[in-house]
Structure 1
Amino acid sequence: MIYRIEAFDRKTEFLVFEEDLPSGCDENLAAIMNWSCKQEGWEGYDLSNNQLAALEKLLERNVFDPKYTFQLTCNGR
Protein backbone atom coordinates (compact mmCIF):
# COMPACT_ATOMS: atom_id res chain seq x y z
CA MET A 1 0.00 0.00 0.00
CA ILE A 2 1.23 3.49 -0.78
CA TYR A 3 0.20 6.20 1.66
CA ARG A 4 0.43 9.80 0.51
CA ILE A 5 -0.12 13.20 2.10
CA GLU A 6 -1.77 15.59 -0.34
CA ALA A 7 -1.85 19.37 0.13
CA PHE A 8 -4.64 21.41 -1.46
CA ASP A 9 -4.79 25.17 -1.86
CA ARG A 10 -7.53 26.51 0.45
CA LYS A 11 -8.78 29.03 -2.14
CA THR A 12 -8.68 27.05 -5.39
CA GLU A 13 -8.82 23.51 -3.92
CA PHE A 14 -6.17 22.49 -6.47
CA LEU A 15 -3.58 19.89 -5.50
CA VAL A 16 -0.33 21.74 -4.73
CA PHE A 17 2.00 18.91 -3.72
CA GLU A 18 2.16 15.30 -2.57
CA GLU A 19 4.48 13.49 -0.18
CA ASP A 20 4.71 9.69 -0.04
CA LEU A 21 5.09 8.26 3.43
CA PRO A 22 7.86 5.70 3.92
CA SER A 23 6.91 2.10 3.27
CA GLY A 24 6.47 -0.16 6.27
CA CYS A 25 4.71 2.41 8.46
CA ASP A 26 1.29 0.72 8.39
CA GLU A 27 1.13 0.09 12.15
CA ASN A 28 2.13 3.66 12.97
CA LEU A 29 -0.46 4.99 10.51
CA ALA A 30 -3.19 2.83 11.99
CA ALA A 31 -2.46 4.29 15.42
CA ILE A 32 -2.26 7.89 14.16
CA MET A 33 -5.45 7.58 12.12
CA ASN A 34 -7.26 5.42 14.69
CA TRP A 35 -8.09 2.80 12.07
CA SER A 36 -9.87 -0.33 13.26
CA CYS A 37 -9.61 -2.23 9.97
CA LYS A 38 -7.08 -2.75 7.20
CA GLN A 39 -7.18 -0.21 4.37
CA GLU A 40 -8.25 -1.42 0.93
CA GLY A 41 -6.43 1.06 -1.29
CA TRP A 42 -9.07 3.61 -2.28
CA GLU A 43 -9.56 5.56 0.94
CA GLY A 44 -8.94 9.23 1.57
CA TYR A 45 -8.98 11.09 4.89
CA ASP A 46 -9.02 14.74 5.90
CA LEU A 47 -6.18 15.31 8.35
CA SER A 48 -6.41 17.17 11.63
CA ASN A 49 -3.45 19.30 12.71
CA ASN A 50 -2.52 16.64 15.29
CA GLN A 51 -2.61 13.85 12.71
CA LEU A 52 -0.51 15.89 10.28
CA ALA A 53 2.05 16.63 12.99
CA ALA A 54 2.36 12.91 13.75
CA LEU A 55 2.70 12.09 10.04
CA GLU A 56 5.42 14.72 9.68
CA LYS A 57 7.45 12.70 12.20
CA LEU A 58 7.17 9.66 9.91
CA LEU A 59 8.21 11.84 6.96
CA GLU A 60 11.05 13.33 9.00
CA ARG A 61 10.19 16.78 7.66
CA ASN A 62 7.57 19.48 8.10
CA VAL A 63 5.00 20.07 5.37
CA PHE A 64 2.37 22.11 7.22
CA ASP A 65 1.45 25.47 5.75
CA PRO A 66 -1.75 27.28 6.75
CA LYS A 67 -2.45 28.03 3.06
CA TYR A 68 -3.26 24.36 2.51
CA THR A 69 -5.66 21.68 3.65
CA PHE A 70 -4.23 18.20 3.97
CA GLN A 71 -5.49 14.72 3.21
CA LEU A 72 -4.07 11.23 3.51
CA THR A 73 -4.74 8.84 0.65
CA CYS A 74 -4.30 5.08 0.51
CA ASN A 75 -3.38 3.69 -2.87
CA GLY A 76 -3.05 0.01 -3.77
CA ARG A 77 0.19 -0.94 -5.50
Structure 2
Amino acid sequence: MIYLIEAFDKDSGFMASEEKLPNASDQSIKTIMGWTAEQEGWEGYDLSHEQLGALEKLLGKGIYNPAYKIQLNCNV
Protein backbone atom coordinates (compact mmCIF):
# COMPACT_ATOMS: atom_id res chain seq x y z
CA MET A 1 0.00 0.00 0.00
CA ILE A 2 1.19 3.51 -0.80
CA TYR A 3 0.16 6.24 1.64
CA LEU A 4 0.20 9.87 0.57
CA ILE A 5 -0.48 13.03 2.52
CA GLU A 6 -2.16 15.47 0.17
CA ALA A 7 -2.75 19.18 0.74
CA PHE A 8 -5.63 20.87 -1.09
CA ASP A 9 -6.15 24.60 -1.34
CA LYS A 10 -9.24 25.46 0.72
CA ASP A 11 -10.42 28.07 -1.79
CA SER A 12 -9.86 26.37 -5.14
CA GLY A 13 -9.78 22.70 -4.13
CA PHE A 14 -6.64 22.15 -6.22
CA MET A 15 -3.90 19.90 -4.87
CA ALA A 16 -1.03 22.03 -3.63
CA SER A 17 1.36 19.30 -2.49
CA GLU A 18 1.78 15.59 -1.96
CA GLU A 19 4.12 13.71 0.38
CA LYS A 20 4.70 9.95 0.28
CA LEU A 21 4.96 8.28 3.69
CA PRO A 22 7.83 5.79 4.19
CA ASN A 23 7.13 2.27 2.89
CA ALA A 24 7.94 0.56 6.19
CA SER A 25 5.44 2.61 8.20
CA ASP A 26 2.22 0.68 7.48
CA GLN A 27 1.67 -0.47 11.07
CA SER A 28 2.40 2.99 12.48
CA ILE A 29 -0.09 4.55 10.06
CA LYS A 30 -2.76 2.01 11.01
CA THR A 31 -2.24 2.84 14.69
CA ILE A 32 -2.32 6.62 14.09
CA MET A 33 -5.51 6.33 12.04
CA GLY A 34 -7.18 3.86 14.43
CA TRP A 35 -7.87 1.34 11.66
CA THR A 36 -8.91 -2.18 12.59
CA ALA A 37 -9.35 -3.47 9.02
CA GLU A 38 -7.05 -3.50 6.02
CA GLN A 39 -7.49 -0.67 3.54
CA GLU A 40 -8.58 -1.52 -0.01
CA GLY A 41 -6.44 1.04 -1.82
CA TRP A 42 -8.92 3.71 -2.87
CA GLU A 43 -9.67 5.46 0.42
CA GLY A 44 -9.08 9.07 1.39
CA TYR A 45 -9.30 10.45 4.93
CA ASP A 46 -9.49 13.93 6.38
CA LEU A 47 -6.85 14.24 9.11
CA SER A 48 -7.29 15.62 12.58
CA HIS A 49 -4.58 17.92 13.88
CA GLU A 50 -3.34 15.09 16.13
CA GLN A 51 -3.21 12.57 13.27
CA LEU A 52 -1.36 15.02 11.05
CA GLY A 53 1.18 15.71 13.81
CA ALA A 54 1.88 12.00 14.22
CA LEU A 55 2.19 11.49 10.46
CA GLU A 56 4.56 14.48 10.22
CA LYS A 57 6.84 12.65 12.66
CA LEU A 58 6.91 9.67 10.27
CA LEU A 59 7.76 12.05 7.40
CA GLY A 60 10.45 13.76 9.41
CA LYS A 61 9.13 17.23 8.63
CA GLY A 62 6.22 19.54 9.27
CA ILE A 63 3.78 20.18 6.43
CA TYR A 64 0.80 21.82 8.18
CA ASN A 65 -0.46 25.00 6.56
CA PRO A 66 -3.80 26.53 7.62
CA ALA A 67 -4.56 27.47 3.99
CA TYR A 68 -4.84 23.78 3.06
CA LYS A 69 -7.16 20.88 3.77
CA ILE A 70 -4.92 17.92 4.56
CA GLN A 71 -5.89 14.33 3.71
CA LEU A 72 -4.36 10.87 3.80
CA ASN A 73 -4.81 8.89 0.61
CA CYS A 74 -4.34 5.11 0.30
CA ASN A 75 -3.31 3.65 -3.06
CA VAL A 76 -2.44 0.17 -4.21
- Structure 1 unaligned residues grouped into runs of 5+: none
RMSD value, Cα: 0.5
Moved segments of 4+, more than 6 Å: none
Percent identity (aligned): 54
Q: TM-score, normalised by structure 2?
A: 0.97
Alignment of 1:19-34 (within 5 A): 19-34=19-34
- The residue that corresponds to 2:39 in the other structure is 39
How far apart in 1 are the matches of 2:48 and 2:12? Answer: 20
Alignment length (residue pairs):
76
Q: Over residues 27-50 of structure 1, what are the superposed CA-to-partner deviations in whole Å (9 max), with x where a residue is unaligned?
A: 100110000101111111001111
Quote the offset at 1:24 in angstroms. 1.2
Q: Over residues 6-65 of structure 1, what are the superposed CA-to-partner deviations in whole Å (9 max), with x where a residue is unaligned?
A: 000011111001000000111100110000101111111001111000000000000001
How far apart in 2 are the matches of 1:68 and 1:8? Answer: 5
Q: Match of 1:24, SS?
A: helix
Return the structure number with greater helix share. 2
Alignment of 1:58-77 (within 5 A): 58-76=58-76
Q: TM-score, normalised by structure 1?
A: 0.96
How far apart in 1 are the matches of 2:39 and 2:32? Answer: 14
